[in-house]
Amino acid sequence: MKTSELRQKDAAGLATEIKELQKAHFNMRMQKATQQLTNTAQMKVTRRAIARAKTIQAEQAAAQE
């Protein structure tokens, strides 16, 4: 998801997006451990998407204070 799309979400929307990304990343880690994951580069993409969403969430929390 693009940064501009994440910035349009509210706090609850960001929280659900982070939770979904973390679940997807966990599933990829399990697939990698069982040698079922074919595209390991996708793990990097997901990890960075989680970081991007958490950064925007922290920015929005700081702006509210």
Please name the fold of domain 3-64.
Answer: Helix Hairpins (1.10.287)
- Mean predicted confidence (pLDDT) in 8-28: 96
pTM, whole model, 2 decimals?
A: 0.91
Over the stretch 32-63, which tens digit does the pLDDT of each residue have?
999 999 999 999 999 999 999 999 999 999 99
The pLDDT of 18-33, averaged and rounded, is 97
Do the Cβ atoms of 60 and 11 come closer than 8 Å? Answer: yes
User: Does pLDDT of 65 surpass 90?
Assistant: no
Burial degree of 17 (CB within 10 A; 0-12, 13-18, 19+) = buried
* The pLDDT value given to residue 1: 78
